[in-house]
Amino acid sequence: WRLCRASDDGKAASPGLEYVLKVHNGVESRQLSLLEAQNEAMARVQATGKIKCPAPIASLNGKQMELVGMIIADGSECTHAVRVIPFIHAKLLGNCALTAPMLRSVGEQLAHIDIALAPMHSPALRRLHVWDLRSTQQLSPLVPLLEEEQRTLVA
Please give the model's pTM, rounded to 2 decimal places.
Answer: 0.73
Tell me whether residue 78 is in a domain: yes
Tell me whether residue 152 is in a domain: no
Tell me whether residue 4 is in a domain: no
Tell me whether residue 155 is in a domain: no
Tell me whether residue 3 is in a domain: no
The string of pLDDT tens digits covering residues 48-57 is 999 999 999 9
Rounded CA-CA distance 21/53 in Å is 16
Number of domains in the chain: 1
Average pLDDT, the chain: 86
* CB 12, CB 4: distance < 8 Å: yes
Judged against a pLDDT cut of 70, whether residue 10 lies above it is answered with: no
Tell me whether residue 1 is in a domain: no
Tell me whether residue 2 is in a domain: no
Rounded CA-CA distance 103/100 in Å is 5
Residue 78's domain spans which residues? 19-145
Question: What are the DSSP calls for 54-116, one per residue?
Answer: --PBP-TTS-SSEEEEEE-TTS-EEEEEEEEEE------GGGS---HHHHHHHHHHHHHHHHH
The string of pLDDT tens digits covering residues 11-24 is 555 555 788 999 99
The string of pLDDT tens digits covering residues 52-110 is 999 999 999 999 999 999 888 899 999 999 999 999 888 898 899 999 999 999 999 99
Tell me whether residue 64 is in a domain: yes
